[in-house]
Structure 1
């Protein structure tokens, strides 16, 4: 039989274990679901795989859950009811019923974060601009117009230092390598759009070509913004550099090798998950 002293020590240890378990096993702050396709371009596939490795690490650190699906039929009201934040990692929904559900979700306060190709639309192409609400109203950018090539880092400047997504960033920082997009509409003329980051002029010339129009020498290019009517944030990042020339499809860059850019992404997600506009 245990002595009274040993029983007391054991009881104390059990209490401490229970207390520590209670402290560390905190409930998740919010739930995230990431939709992706990961079939259309090796650079986008590369980003999706990276994101699906990186976000679970952040989820463990910041106490949120991170689930993924490549089944876009899950974009329905019953499935989305479990989640406070939806991510589009590389594409958009195509079925009219999925688009309608997504619009209702964000109009009723659901949060969204989109990366790079999630905003792409070009008529004619495999992704035509056939969803006016999403591209013109929600994103505000309209169609894709052009891009830089090859994927290269850029110096980004913070336009709004008061926003929760950007207030901990330096005034300028170097991004990870990316293919940068230009858009049909001037977001500066839209009163609902809050541009958070743009390409700093010190980045020019941006891109290496070989085609002259793939190298930007001047201009204004927003790369991260929100629409103040919704809980949403779009980031142009999400295209790695890939060895297409030698047909190895080897990854030549990582979208998560900039500490400041990573800070932007996680602070954006924590803001979206907080439920605040």
Structure 2
């Protein structure tokens, strides 16, 4: 049975950057504040079909709007964090590419000289990738990304162990059979990305991520990264109002 796009993308786990999410944007039914910040340290949820389904955040109080979607477990005790408890630094430079070992070629072609402030690539720039294998997965970060990690990790793990039974009971109605509950202790964040997977029996697959400008007709001039000429690949790209 052929692998789904999310299963192919999960192959990036071998790069040891955490659990890759084929659909990294948040559930649109979650509180708007959560949608804007995306997955964060302390989030508790389920990984399903290439996305992280948020349930509650263990580091925010039960009364915080972040925890208003589903509520919190019975007898909930939060693990408060301060800014010094989180390490944050730029981890990926603009134009970074993360790929499975099967990707054989990656080329960056710079476009014209019209630069939009805050964009590392000029309009018309593109990143072209090519694979000669039957399966491949790619993450392109046009604007780079930062990495956040929890510093008092062992203390937090002790907190999770202490309350894990209550958390699992709370999450049981959301979990698939024999499902696992995930607690976020680190994450990568960006404001734009391009994701692609390919599965083919006919040799080489080439795809290109291009910076284009949408909304010219209505005057918004909203820049977007879009995949072009992707053939047998399954693709996904965003320049959203929230972060990954």
Q: TM-score range by the shorter chain?
A: under 0.3
Report the TM-score, using the length of structure 1 for normalisation: 0.22
Give the helix-richer structure, 1 or 2.
1
Q: Please state which structure has a larger fraction of its residues in strand.
A: 2
Greater gyration radius:
1
